[in-house]
A and B are shown apart, each in its own frame.
Chain A
Amino acid sequence: GQQLNQSPQSMFIQEGEDVSMNCTSSSIFNTWLWYKQEPGEGPVLLIALYKAGELTSNGRLTAQFGITRKDSFLNISASIPSDVGIYFCALESSGSARQLTFGSGTQLTVLP
């Protein structure tokens, strides 16, 4: 099966700093998704990317679908305490089921 590598595994940043995390896959995919998960809750979709090269923003979040279709990054600008959580990239399979394959997650801690 495909390999999905997400980095970094964890980040400790000061409030107000910018953050960047990325994912790479061993195969080409048509859809990249970024989710955030807080303790005791399910993942919540942040941004969906459907075209190679696509750059999409959602408030302070920006994500890009790499030109090679094998990578994506997520940036968070001017971090705030409520940004704390685990961020996952995910790929949608090309089959009819469209099941998701998740990265291992980036644990973000924002220090006051």
Chain B
Amino acid sequence: GAGVSQSPSNKVTEKGKDVELRCDPISGHTALYWYRQSLGQGLEFLIYFQGNSAPDKSGLPSDRFSAERTGGSVSTLTIQRTQQEDSAVYLCASSPSSGGAGPQHFGDGTRLSIL
């Protein structure tokens, strides 16, 4: 597609449920990033993919968070046993490569609300 696409755009779920968030990066972009933005805050790095591997998971806040990427394209971020503090906007970005070859382009995010 023309840009980074994320789905769903909004997700409301009960505390304790699992959620899956999806990201379709720009075609041909090998680097993919997940960030989290809490209300009124800047973006916080979660995880980075180069191809299908995740060499940097340092931003994942707990073991309830995991992510995978398949075919060097689509990525899913999974949050298990959601807690209210997980409520935030989850943003995905992609870039042509991690080697500085172009800046990161962001999707519009998934707004996650935990009741």
Min CB gap A52→B, angstroms: 16
Q: A60 contacts which chain B residues (CB < 8 A)?
A: none
How far is A41 from B50 in the complex, measured between Cα atoms in Å?
Answer: 24
Say whether B105 contacts A45, CB under 8 Å: yes
How far is A98 from B105 in the complex, measured between Cα atoms in Å?
Answer: 13
How far is A99 from B35 in the complex, measured between Cα atoms in Å?
Answer: 9
Chain A, residues 10-47, CB within 8 Å of chain B (1/0): the string is 00000000000000000000010100000011111100
| 9-residue interface stretch from B41-49, B64-72, B74-82 | B41-49
Say whether B91 contacts A95, CB under 8 Å: no
Say whether A99 contacts B59, CB under 8 Å: yes
State which of A42, A90, A96 has its C-beta within 8 Å of the C-beta of B4: A42
Q: B31 contacts which chain A residues (CB < 8 A)?
A: 98
Say whether A97 contacts B42, CB under 8 Å: no
Chain B, residues 8-47, CB within 8 Å of chain A (1/0): the string is 0000000000000000000000010101000011111100
On A, residues with C-beta under 8 Å from B are: 6, 31, 33, 40-45, 48, 88, 90, 92, 95-105
